[in-house]
Amino acid sequence: MMEPVPSMEKRYQIRPGDVDFQKKLKLSALFNYFQDVANLHVESLGIGIERLIQDFGVTWVLTRIRVDMERMPLLGEEIVVETWPQLPKRMEFDRDFLVRDASNHVLVRATSNWVIMDIRTREVKKPETIPIHYPFTPRERTIDCRLGRFKAFGTPEIAYDKVIGYSEIDLNEHLNNSRYIDIVMDCFSLEEHRQFSFKSLEISYLNESLPGDRLTLYRDATALRDGLFYIEGINQNAIRSFKALVSVRPISQP
């Protein structure tokens, strides 16, 4: 059974621990905000993580997300993050997000795909196998697109290697979705972060990254002229963990 529900909003003030060296909100911190408000929403709707784990042995897992940014909030700024669920699909649940500033201007739009995963088998479950109500908000999409339809432009080159550690693991015992964003951002040098601002990021979480996994990060700058970078992480078993498409624009120099 599907029932219309209101969206969920939460106000945040940008703290020093959530910004970069330019005093802009880190993209990974924004993903934490998304995760926070989405969790609050599903909890309020009676389909939160604790209930799903306790009653059905399953949990929510983010599989794809695209974020389009007009600008990133600055240190000390107050923002409102709003989220709502779309009509469920055969295997996936779509959830949209908006970020507004104190003047109600839209700073960020995002759309995402989620699935229900069995915490024991790690397999994706069909919604109809879990006897709960799946609410939705009848509202226009923030971004009208199909996620995951991108690939490398040329031959990606190795950016760096990393080992997944304890501090990066969430309650699902795998690399948290926001930590992937830090990994992607680390594929850009400090000078590149000074040179570019980020217009859009789309990421597909393809296979879990677990504690002790070694990821090799690859970056493809073939389409730099168009402001596009392709980034992927491949683990020690030659399995692709994620892929990401990043769109940048030059920062105007004073």
> 34 pLDDT exceeds 70?
yes
Domain end: 110, 129, 148, which one? 129
pLDDT in the model for residue 134: 84
Same domain, 15 and 124: yes
pLDDT in the model for residue 218: 99
Domain end: 129, 147, 175, which one? 129
The Cβ of residue 187 has, within 10 Å, a number of other Cβ atoms equal to 19
Same domain, 90 and 202: no
Mean pLDDT value of segment 38-61: 94
Same domain, 108 and 168: no
> 1 pLDDT exceeds 80?
no
CATH code (residue 186): 3.10.129.10
pLDDT in the model for residue 251: 86
Same domain, 25 and 116: yes
Same domain, 175 and 121: no
177 DSSP 8-state letter: H
Contact 193, 251 (CB under 8 A): no
> 254 pLDDT exceeds 70?
no
> 41 pLDDT exceeds 70?
yes
> 210 pLDDT exceeds 90?
yes
Cα gap 88→51, rounded to integer Å: 19
Mean pLDDT value of segment 210-230: 97
pLDDT in the model for residue 2: 62
In a domain, 1, yes or no: no
pLDDT in the model for residue 125: 92
> 155 pLDDT exceeds 60?
yes
Size of the chain in residues: 254
In a domain, 145, yes or no: no
In a domain, 101, yes or no: yes
pLDDT in the model for residue 192: 97
Domain count, the chain: 2
> 199 pLDDT exceeds 60?
yes
Cα gap 175→166, rounded to integer Å: 9
- Considering only CA atoms, give the Rg of the chain: 18
Q: What range defines the domain where residue 13 resides?
A: 8-129
Predicted model pTM = 0.94
Mean confidence (pLDDT) of the chain = 94
- Give residue 253's pLDDT band: very low, low, confident or very high (50, 70, 90): low
> 137 pLDDT exceeds 80?
yes
In a domain, 219, yes or no: yes
Task: Tell me which residue has tokens 């799946």.
Answer: 134
pLDDT in the model for residue 127: 86
> 173 pLDDT exceeds 90?
no
In a domain, 2, yes or no: no
Mean pLDDT value of segment 23-33: 98
Same domain, 122 and 172: no
Give pLDDT tens digits for 65-104: 999 999 999 999 999 999 999 988 888 999 999 999 999 9
In a domain, 139, yes or no: no
Per-residue 3-state assignment (H helix, E strand, C coil) for 82-150: EEEECCCCCCCEEEEEEEECCCCCEEEEEEEEEEEEECCCCCEECHHHCCCCCCECCCCCCCCCCCCCC
- Give residue 191's pLDDT band: very low, low, confident or very high (50, 70, 90): very high
